[in-house]
Amino acid sequence: MTTIHVPLNLIDIPADRLRALDAEWVEALAMMMRQEGQLQPITLRPSGDRYSLVFGEHRFAAVARNGWADIEASVREMTDDEARLAEIDENLIRRELGPLDRALFLAERKRVWERLHPQTRDGGDRKSSEFKAKNQIAKLAMRFSEEVAEKVGLSERSVQRACDIASGLRPDAVTDIRRTYLANHQRDLEAFSKLSPDSQRIALEKLTSGEAETIKAAFAEPGERIGPPPVTSEKMLGLWSRMAAKEKRRFLETIGVDADAHDRIVNPRRREVR
């Protein structure tokens, strides 16, 4: 791969980047670059007499943070959609994304991919147009999942689940979701995405205000206990009756019962041989 050094003042950053800059990561990269130099080039595409960033915004910001005048870059001719796919795949591959960002990135990738792979209609009269359309959409979804799984190392099921999550989120809710634990909690984010728009709004109001800490707590009845059920004496006796003698003795030792009492407790019906 051929690279060149491009002045920073000739590079434009598109306004519709999918992720905001992480200031702490920029600072860490800047420090590493001061010690080791720029190890990986960024990727640009020509834009008249200037260049447009495809991916590598954190590296760009780190170079600017260090006060350097130019940056090592690979320059490629790309369409808007090709550049968008490259940006998404770079983030999916190079840096760990939380469940929310992964869902949003994959949903955007699917939208771009579908623009690049428009539906084709098969000829013939044996099937209705409605059936053909549904069948074609299913085939497209499968091809998309297979391609992404191969490129970025996710399972096809993970790709499908992430896209399902993104499709279930209210677009205006994403900013608030980032302020809650949901952004990094796959199972609850998936459950949240299946709620109605009104329920999503209620849940986010409670989560962002601190009234509730989890989705389950947001919809709990007044006085309802949240969390694992208490361990009752009946449950303890049931567990004790199913434990082997060796495990019973180990448990008694753990809670500090004198060793001389172990036999009497473990075998209460045992008669002493006289």
State pLDDT tens for residues 34-90. Answer: 988 998 899 999 999 999 999 999 999 999 999 999 999 999 999 999 999 888 888
Residues 11 and 67 in one domain: yes
pLDDT band at 120, cuts 50/70/90?
Answer: very low
- Domain enclosing residue 175, as ranges: 168-218
Torsion of CA 162, 165, 170, 175, to 10 degrees: -50
Q: Is residue 112 included in any domain, yes or no?
A: no
* Two structure tokens written together for 250: 């180990």
Q: Is residue 98 included in any domain, yes or no?
A: no
Last residue of a domain, one of 78, 102, 119: 78
In which element (H, E) is residue 175 found?
Answer: helix 174-178
Q: Is residue 201 included in any domain, yes or no?
A: yes
Read off the pLDDT of residues 141-194 as tens digits, 9 standing for 90 and up: 557 777 777 777 778 888 888 889 999 998 888 889 988 999 989 899 999 999
Read off the pLDDT of residues 149-162 as tens digits, 9 standing for 90 and up: 777 777 888 888 88
Mean pLDDT for 6-18 is 92
Q: Is residue 115 included in any domain, yes or no?
A: no
Query: ∠ CA 21-211-193 to the nearest 5 degrees?
Result: 60
Q: Is residue 88 included in any domain, yes or no?
A: no
- Contact between 159 and 145 under an 8 Å Cβ cutoff? The reply is yes
Residues 214 and 238 in one domain: no
Q: Is residue 61 included in any domain, yes or no?
A: yes
Residues 27 and 67 in one domain: yes
Is 223's pLDDT higher than 70? no
Is 196's pLDDT higher than 80? yes
What's the CATH code of the domain at 26?
3.90.1530.10
Residues 258 and 190 in one domain: no
Residues 180 and 212 in one domain: yes
pLDDT band at 271, cuts 50/70/90?
Answer: very low
Last residue of a domain, one of 34, 57, 78: 78
Last residue of a domain, one of 12, 47, 78: 78
Is 131's pLDDT higher than 60? no
* Two structure tokens written together for 160: 């499908």
- Alpha carbon 88 to its chain centroid, in Å, reads 13
**pTM tops 0.85:** no
| Ramachandran angles phi, psi of 121, nearest 5° | -105, 130
Residues 249 and 181 in one domain: no
Q: Is residue 114 included in any domain, yes or no?
A: no
Instruction: Determine the pLDDT at residue 2.
Output: 78
* Antiparallel, parallel or unpaired: β 11-12 and 4-7: unpaired
Number of compact structural domains in the chain: 3
Instruction: Determine the pLDDT at residue 64.
Output: 96
Residue 219 DSSP label:
T
Q: Is residue 1 included in any domain, yes or no?
A: yes
Instruction: Determine the pLDDT at residue 193.
Output: 93
Instruction: Determine the pLDDT at residue 122.
Output: 42
* Two structure tokens written together for 158: 């993970």
Residues 240 and 194 in one domain: no
